Structure 1
Amino acid sequence: MQGEDFRKMFKTYQFQAGTGKHTVYLMATATESGIMIHLIGGEVPHLGAVVLSLPRPSRSNPERTSCTTSVLPLAAHKDELAAKMVAETITRQISKPVTVAAGLHIKNATQKDIITLMQNSRNAALQLIDAMQKDFSFS
């Protein structure tokens, strides 16, 4: 497919949450079969982890969506914490496979810095969920 026909097969989104060194940027491409996300921010955006989350019925309540998640972190990185949380949050709400490539870094980060980056990552994910629920009908 070319031109307009191809662009009808996906939708892109961009969100940010937080300010200063705690700013998180979420860029997503949604297709009928899943969502691909880049999650970057802090002082040094980079690639620190890749996560794939697949929806499945919850074991405790099959009417609810849960997920199975695979994590590939780069050595000496903790980006998988935010990537996994974002992927699972979105997968549970949208019931589609989600990938997240994440890189969030603050030099000499404190526990408070990490908590703030996690909160901002969650806020960006919730913005995406809200926008997608308005744009698409998900089963």
Structure 2
Amino acid sequence: MERMLTKKATAAGYTMEVTVMKIGEDFQICLAGGEKPHIGCVVQAVPRESLTGDGSWSATSSVWNRTGHKDEVLCRMLAEKICCACRTVTVCTGGVHIDRITGEQIREIVDAVEKMGEEIAQDLR
């Protein structure tokens, strides 16, 4: 991977952008989207062998949320997906804001960000 990788997707009528930067062996992810991109959450994911004992990998995550923000769902999903795929410490910051967002728009955004995360994990492997 070059030093930076960026993916964009449109969901719920808005652009979502995920940028990954390599820092040594680790990754820093920035998620931005909606009407007012912001930092609503910080997630640090640390790789470990799964507790299932089946040889798969999982992550232990620490989360810092900005009061009143719900960005943890997206940032945690990205951090843990990349952390497990690459077996390296991964931090994700960012946020998506859309005034009067609907349940359908939320599902579209979650699906789009999840797909970008899967594509990024594949690119980084």
Map residues 47-86 of structure 1 onto 2, 5 A cutoff.
47-61=39-53, 63-86=55-78
Which consecutive unaligned segments of at least 5 residues does structure 1 have?
A: 1-7, 134-139
Larger CA Rg, structure 1 vs 2: 1
Q: Deviations over 1:15-35 (max 9, x none)?
A: 112246332100111244210
Aligned amino acid, residue 43 of structure 1: E
Q: Deviations over 1:55-95 (max 9, x none)?
A: 00101125111110001010010011100111111111111
CA contact (8 A) 2:19 2:31 kept: yes
**Alignment match of 1:30 (pick from 4, 22, 32):** 22
How much is the aligned-residue C-alpha RMSD, in angstroms? 1.7
Scaled by the length of structure 1, the TM-score of the pair is: 0.83
Task: Considering fraction of residues, name the structure with more strand.
Answer: 2
Which consecutive unaligned segments of at least 5 residues does structure 2 have?
A: none
Aligned counterparts of 1:22 and 1:58: Cα–Cα separation in 2: 36
Aligned amino acid, residue 15 of structure 1: K
The share of aligned pairs that are identical, in percent, is 26
CA contact (8 A) 2:12 2:109 kept: no
Aligned counterparts of 1:79 and 1:106: Cα–Cα separation in 2: 12
Aligned amino acid, residue 80 of structure 1: E
Aligned counterparts of 1:131 and 1:80: Cα–Cα separation in 2: 23
- Paired position in structure 2 for 1:136: none
Count of paired positions = 125
Task: Considering fraction of residues, name the structure with more helix.
Answer: 1
Q: Deviations over 1:110-137 (max 9, x none)?
A: 111111111111122122112212xxxx
